[in-house]
Structure 1
Amino acid sequence: MLPATFKLCAGISYGHVRSMTGLRKTAMVAINHEMKRLSGPGPNRWISQVRRRSSLLSGRIEETPYSEAEISYMKQGEEALQKSISILGDQSGWKMETEAENGDKVLSKMLPDIGKVFKLEVVLDQRPDHLYGELVGNMEKMGEWNPSVKQVTILQRVGPDTLVTHEMAAETPGNIVGPRDFVSVRCAKRRGSTCFLAGMSTNHPDMPEQKGFVRAENGPTCIVMRPSAEDPNKTRFTWLLSIDLKGWIPKAVVNQVLSQTQVDFAQHLRQRMAASDMGAALAC
């Protein structure tokens, strides 16, 4: 629909057609309808949009000049996104893990083929595109503001949407959970006003297991950022987290660590964005 709309719009740029009021009106109505269709805030809308576009992309991957390894990474990223969307689309079975005074909450549920997954739900005083710019565009700077992360390194970029990264996690207080690291494929997408950052564990030849770190596994994981229905300048921020920390750690400890990590992340992200806003204001 969208390509056809643009063709219709292009048609009115020619002098002999511009005076045709009916055609111009038709083009404007078509464009308005298409933009509304792509940017609707409802969860059913963004879920269906991502599924449809992802299936189209999967069909075209084989036609692109990527290597076999690159195609594999792209498919893994799409798989992480699709699995995450499926999990988040099912609202049943979630149980409250923790809820902060400001309304931030972490829920969890057990999935037969994955295990226990956690879901952070918060509202942030930032637009989705601002948060997307920080979490995707400045991904390698995360260690500067998130104490749970020592370092994030981009190992490889594949096409416009796919990254392979290495993350080094910091020890928890009291070293209850020792140093962990992850090699992940990430799929970053924007669909209308909704932004996604999905991921899952993978392997990369440039990052074998590191001495002093336990190679943990994650996935599927996904951050979804969409405008709040009450205020488009705020963001409904959802973070699906699924991690196998490996090693001999009691499940109760793992549950506490992961849920607290999500709550802390939301607070650190707020502080980071507030500092960025202040810096931008001072620069002006």
Structure 2
Amino acid sequence: MLPATFKLCAGISYRHMRNMTGLRKNAMVAIHHELNRLAGPGSSNWINQVRRRSSFLSARIEEEQGYSEQEMSYVKQEGHQHSSANKTAGPLKLCLQYLFNTPPQANGDKVLSKMLPDIGKVFKLEVMLEQHPDDLYNELVGNMEQMGEWNPNVKKVKILQKIGKETMVTHEVSAETPGNVVGPRDFVSVRCAKRRGSTCFLAGMSTKHPTMPEQRGVVRAENGPTCIVMKPCAEDPNKTKFTWLLNIDLKGWIPKTIINKVLSQTQVDFANHLRQRMANNVSMEMAHAC
């Protein structure tokens, strides 16, 4: 049974068959059932690994059903982005590779940076916040459109489209910097919000959306692979190790020294404004409880 099933699954390697969702689903479900039969008390590690993988793929195929072609393009962009030069991983994978495999070099007291091939300069902010990751996740994802209320560097954030539970397309407008050194910018981004155990991931990069073409009087900037990772502190799980990787092309004729200063300061300011926002939320909850 298993060899025949792998022949069925091999069919999806052909382009015209790979687009047949029903065939993909049936193949993965059949493999999963067959591996369940083979795997017993003495089953090898590779069988257990393939079982987990086939189960994951079956779940992803289930999620894909019912999506339009446009919606699927955003879901796929979350995982992979094709450039004219090569194929690079999606924003979350790239950011995680950077986090764990390439220690950055200091660029100031609090913000680190590193040049990455095919991406450019990535800025890294790492701070400790007093709140639990779930509370921060609820604020940054659940109350995303309210960000302009507490972060003066942001004019507004609007969700243009939601695709499933983890993916959305947003439009953000930034405020001008002091002295209007850098004028207002806007971004259209595809974002994914994921939880893996006690760790929360928020990743995104620029995209296009039919309801939000470029706006007159505002420069359309581009988000490269960008990611926020929120992980409970090892010493105190009610606190959060907050890591933000930022890669942006602001467009326009701006000296690199100014761009580097603006982006690194934006990260530091964001952390401070977020701390204040969370402290205000606690104060309001206490006031309502009285």
* Structure 2 residue corresponding to 1:83, chosen from 94, 109, 123: 94
TM superposition shift of 1:91:
3.4
Matched, 1:74 2:79: no
Paired residues for 1:84-123 under 5 Å: 84-92=95-103, 94-99=104-109, 105-123=110-128
Report the Cα distance in structure 2 between the residues aligned to 1:258 and 1:282, rounded to whole angstroms.
36
Q: Matched residue pairs, number?
A: 226
Instruction: Name which structure has the greater RCO, CA cutoff 8 Å, separation 6+.
Output: 1
Report the Cα distance in structure 2 between the residues aligned to 1:137 and 1:219, rounded to whole angstroms.
23
Report the Cα distance in structure 1 between the residues aligned to 2:72 and 2:270, rounded to whole angstroms.
32
Report the Cα distance in structure 1 between the residues aligned to 2:77 and 2:261, rounded to whole angstroms.
29
Paired residues for 1:29-178 under 5 Å: 56=57, 60=61, 63-78=64-79, 79-92=90-103, 94-99=104-109, 105-178=110-183
Paired residues for 1:253-268 under 5 Å: 253-268=258-273
Q: How big is each residue's C-alpha offset from its partner over 1:114-150, in whole Å with a ceiling of 9 and x where there is no partner? A: 0100000000000000000000000000000001100
Report the Cα distance in structure 1 between the residues aligned to 2:164 and 2:260, rounded to whole angstroms.
35
* Structure 2 residue corresponding to 1:185, chosen from 166, 183, 190: 190
TM superposition shift of 1:61:
6.7
Report the Cα distance in structure 2 between the residues aligned to 1:57 and 1:258, rounded to whole angstroms.
41
> Structure 1 residues 97 and 61, CA, compared in 2 at 3 Å: closer, same or farther?
farther
Report the Cα distance in structure 2 between the residues aligned to 1:61 and 1:255, rounded to whole angstroms.
43
Report the Cα distance in structure 2 between the residues aligned to 1:179 and 1:257, rounded to whole angstroms.
13
TM superposition shift of 1:62:
8.1
Q: How big is each residue's C-alpha offset from its partner over 1:226-263, in whole Å with a ceiling of 9 and x where there is no partner? A: 10011101000000000000000000000000000000
Amino acid of the residue matched to residue 82 of structure 1?
A: K
2:92–2:203 Cα contact (<8 Å) kept? yes
SS of match in other structure, 2:254: coil
Report the Cα distance in structure 1 between the residues aligned to 2:179 and 2:147, rounded to whole angstroms.
22
Amino acid of the residue matched to residue 279 of structure 1?
A: M
Partner of 2:42: none
Report the Cα distance in structure 2 between the residues aligned to 1:62 and 1:162, rounded to whole angstroms.
12
> Structure 1 residues 136 and 57, CA, compared in 2 at 3 Å: closer, same or farther?
farther
Report the Cα distance in structure 2 between the residues aligned to 1:114 and 1:58, rounded to whole angstroms.
31
Aligned-pair identity in percent equals 68
Report the Cα distance in structure 2 between the residues aligned to 1:107 and 1:135, rounded to whole angstroms.
23
TM superposition shift of 1:89:
1.9
**TM-score, with length taken from structure 1:** 0.77
Amino acid of the residue matched to residue 98 of structure 1?
A: G
Structure 2: gaps (5+ residues): 1-52, 80-89
Q: Please provide the CA RMSD for this pair.
A: 1.7
Structure 1: gaps (5+ residues): 1-51, 100-104
**TM-score, with length taken from structure 2:** 0.75
